[in-house]
Structures are given as C-alpha cells and as structure tokens.
Structure 1
Amino acid sequence: MALKFYRYQAELLVKNYLLADPYISYTSVLGGIFLCKMAYDFTQFISSFYFKGYSSLTKIQRIDWNNRGMSSIHAIFVTIMSIYLVFCSDLFSDNTINLPITFRSSSLSTFGLGVSVGYFLADLAMIAWSYPSLGGMEYVLHHTLSVIAVAYTMLSGEGQFYTYLVLISEITTPGINLRWFLDTAGMKRSQAYVVNGAMVFLAWLVARILLFIYLFYHIFLHYDQVRQMRSFGYLLIFVVPSALAIMNIIWFGKILKGLRKALSKGK
C-alpha cells in the first residue's frame, strides 16, 4: 500500500512539475546535466573493474575515456529519440497535423532537446576546462552552435523537426568513441579497428552527408513554412546546418583517408 502511494506521488511530481509545460525546459536541461554526471561516473566505475589498462592511463586519458562514455550514452539516447519523433511519431507527419512543420512541438520533443542542451553544456564545460586535451577549436565551435540552436528551438518551439534531423547525426558518435577506445587500448592493428573504421565511414556517409542533403532538400520544399519563422530562428535554420555540413565534409575526408590507410596496411 505504501509502495503504491509513493509511486503515485512520484508520478504526480513528474506530471505536474518535471514535465509540465512551464518547467519542462529547465528541468530537462538540469536532468541532462545530472544524467551526464551519472554516465561519466558509471563509465569510470565499469572501466576500473573490466578494463585492466584503465589504471595505467594518464589522468587526462582517463578523463577523456570517461567523457567519451558519457557522450556515447547521450548519442544513443538522442538518436533513438530523434528517429522516433522524425520517422515514427505523428508529430511531424504531413498528413496528421494542420500546422506548419516549423511550429510543431510537444512535451516529449521539448524534453529530449532539453536533455541534449544539458549534455552539450556539460561537455562544453569539460572541453573548456581541459582545453585543448579533449578537443580543439572545431569542437568548441560545434558545441557552441549546438547549444545555441538546440536551446532556441527548445524554448521557442520553432524548427524542432530540423533540429532532430540534425541530431540523428549523433548516431556516429559511439563508433568514433569506440575507435578511440581501441586505439588507446593498443588495438589499432586489430581486425576490430578496421571493421569499426568501415562502419564509421558508412554511418558518417548516411547520417552526416546524405541526411544533410535531405535536410536542405526538405527546407527547399517547405520554404513557405520556414519563412514564417522569427528572424533568429530563420537564420539558425540555414547557418547552423550549413556550418555543421562543412565540418562534416572536412571530417569525412579525414575518415576516408584513415580508412584507406588502414585497408592498405591490412592488405
């Protein structure tokens, strides 16, 4: 009986406060930061028990290791959320809601964006604190653009469809992190490293090249709806995906170069 009472109280708290429209943006951001801390500590705990070489890593390598575990967990979460909202739910379907796609949002979509804002803020803080050990200026630029764009669409409710399309590209993050894990663990010459490189190449091609082409094509088809957005949102729709697309192409060239090098060594 007592268990049912506490369960009811918890559900009431979540419904009336944590996921209530006036508070959802703030609670989701704080929740995202808190979950990042949990993911960081969880990666540290698991690695210290199941990876023998973890204790021999330098301090900055352990921080990077834990940070990549944290970013992988966020990437899995936001990828699942993005694919569901974009392709599976009715929120952004052209046949269900008589409202411009640029103005559609829900409590769930806003909550997902808030969690991502919390992650990008936490990761940006770690990058700045350890700069440039966890990433150079390109990472600072990437995360800064991400925070601005995701926070705006979370608070305004504008352009959430395009934001989630871009966030699908996070599907490449676990593969990139696994590549770093294998390298740090001394497995750069292993078959797993080569297979991982091929998978990263394919995922990057689909999620960060072809998907961005589809995004710009979708903007072109729905330009009459895009132009109804406020000036800042309208600017973000073009500037942020364009900047990220340029960085994706540059990184894709490096991935292709690395894959060719790995394959030639394998032969």
Structure 2
Amino acid sequence: MSLKSQAGELLKYLVLSDPVVPYISIPAGVLASKLVYDLTDMISSVYFKSYSNLSRIQRVEWNNRAMSTVHAIFITAAALYMVFLSDLYSDQYFGPITFRNSTISTFGLGVSVGYFITDLVMILWFYPAIGGMEYVIHHLLSLLAVAYAMLTGEGQLYTYMVLISETTTPGINLRWYLDTAGMKKSKAYLINGIVIFFAWLVARILLFMYMFYHVYLHLNQVLQMHVFGQFLVFVVPSILWIMNLTWFSKIFRGLKKTLAKRQ
C-alpha cells in the first residue's frame, strides 16, 4: 500500500468519537490556560514584591509554570478518577477496554489538548528561554497521543495512565519558584526535592512499568486497535519512559548532592 493510500486510510479512520465535545473542550483548555496565565500575572504583581524585580522572560516563565501547575492538578485528578475509581475500564464488563470512552473521558482529554497546544506555542515562541528541545519533544509526543485518543476514542485508558505522571509537575514548578525567590538553601527546598524524588519514582517510573504490564495482559485487545493507535501505545510511552529515567537520574544526583552539602 502506498504512503498516500495509508494516509487516506488513517484520515478516514480519524472520525470523532464524539463530534461535539472536542469543539468545546479544546477551546476550554486554551481559554483556561490563558486565564490562569493572566490571573497569575495580575495577582503576582500585587502580592509578590520579588515579581516586579524579575526579568521579562522570568515573569513569562513564572506565569507559564502557574498555568502548567493548574493543568497538572486538573488532569491528575481526572486521570486518577478514570483509571482507579471509574468502572469504565473495568475488566468485568464485556468488550475491549481499548475502545471504551465516555463524554467525560473525552472532555478531560480535550482540555489537556488545549493546554498542550497553548504551552507548546509558548515554548516555541520564547525558545529556548522557557524550555529546550526535550520539552518540545515531550509536548509533541504528548499532544499527538492525547489528541488521537480524544478524536478516535481509542486507547483512552492508557492515555490517562500516562497523564497521571503530571502529578510531579507542581513539585517541579515549586522547586523553580523557590530557586527564583532565593530560597535554594531553605528547608522547604530540601523537602520539596525529596517529595519530587519519590513522586517521580512512583508516577513516572513504576506507574509506566505497571502500564506496560497492563498492555501485556490485554495485548489481544491492543492489537485490535488501528495500527497508528498501536504505535502510540507501544512507542510513545516507551520514549517518555526513557526520558523520565534520564530526568530521574538527574533528580537523584541533585538530591544526593544537596543532602551531602547539608551534612
């Protein structure tokens, strides 16, 4: 089959699982991100004296990190509910879990797509001031996988499993805020570093391993997905996991160095 034919087949396959929800949820994600950014700028200029002393790029990153923190809290709560509390993906129900979706699950992914679009545009606009190439790759892969799951309704369970990793984002952002505020030697900075270490280990290392095991147990259902969906389930989490391992080694070395200085 030619590349053109394959592209045409995929285009026909990408029929919206819910034709209305994406048109509401994606703009909602973009607008919510913009609202949080603007509110952070307004509130910070009034209540944080150090904010006015920051450079323009630092203020942009300050507001951008607030935006990512709010998204992380939202999508982590949504992902934990969908994966562990909702019965949507329960094995006791008939039918492949890889094709199960709902209006709520699709809406949550749409909001996340809106955020990733907004954040990626900001990263590229100010590149590389608020994020290097690793952030661009991470956001492109995340955007591709989340958008596909939202539009087709396929593989939403595994998409939400991966999105639980966003639980580490607030800690990473708090670390930047403390550093920017000149509190790198504070007890709060140390405690935050320890929390990041364990949160990263659980949410970005062990949870991914659990997801790989879950895929293995439901391999026959995964193989019923479109070939592009299979690619996203097998390849994208693997790449993100390798990136997480690389970042985890840096977190471990940084924490070890910090603890050594305090002895």
TM bin (shorter chain): over 0.9
1:196 to partner: Cα distance: 0.3
1:22 to partner: Cα distance: 2.1
Report the secondary structure of 1:186's partner residue.
coil
Which residue in the other structure is 2:130 paired with? 134
1:47 to partner: Cα distance: 1.3
Aligned pairs (5 A) from 1:1-267? 21-95=18-92, 97-267=93-263
Q: In the TM superposition, what whole-angstrom CA distance separates every residue of 1:191-221 from its partner, at most 9, and x where no partner exists?
A: 0000000000000000000000000000000
Q: In the TM superposition, what whole-angstrom CA distance separates every residue of 1:88-127 from its partner, at most 9, and x where no partner exists?
A: 01111111x2111100000000000000000000000000
Q: Partners in 2 of 1:252 and 1:126 — Cα distance? A: 25
Q: Partners in 1 of 2:109 and 2:170 — Cα distance? A: 19
Unpaired runs of at least 5, structure 1? 1-19
1:147 to partner: Cα distance: 0.7
Amino acid at match of 1:159: G
Which residue in the other structure is 1:9 paired with? none
TM-score for both structures, normalised by structure 1: 0.91
1:21 to partner: Cα distance: 3.5
Residue pair 2:100, 2:154 contacting (<8 A) in 1 also: yes
Q: Partners in 1 of 2:229 and 2:48 — Cα distance? A: 45
Q: Partners in 2 of 1:66 and 1:138 — Cα distance? A: 20
Q: Partners in 2 of 1:42 and 1:240 — Cα distance? A: 34
1:49 to partner: Cα distance: 1.8
Amino acid at match of 1:151: A
1:142 to partner: Cα distance: 0.2
Report the secondary structure of 1:105's partner residue.
coil
**Structure 1 runs of 4+ with >4 Å offset:** none
1:36 to partner: Cα distance: 0.2
- Of stretches 156-165 and 39-48 in structure 1, the one that deviates more from structure 2 is 39-48
Report the secondary structure of 1:149's partner residue.
helix
Report the secondary structure of 1:131's partner residue.
coil
Q: Partners in 1 of 2:158 and 2:43 — Cα distance? A: 36
Residue pair 2:18, 2:151 contacting (<8 A) in 1 also: no
Question: Matched residues, percent identical?
Answer: 63
Amino acid at match of 1:167: L
Pairwise CA RMSD: 0.9
Amino acid at match of 1:40: Y
Amino acid at match of 1:87: F
Which residue in the other structure is 2:10 paired with? none
1:45 to partner: Cα distance: 1.7
Q: Partners in 2 of 1:169 and 1:50 — Cα distance? A: 31
Q: Partners in 2 of 1:22 and 1:164 — Cα distance? A: 20
Q: Partners in 2 of 1:231 and 1:151 — Cα distance? A: 16
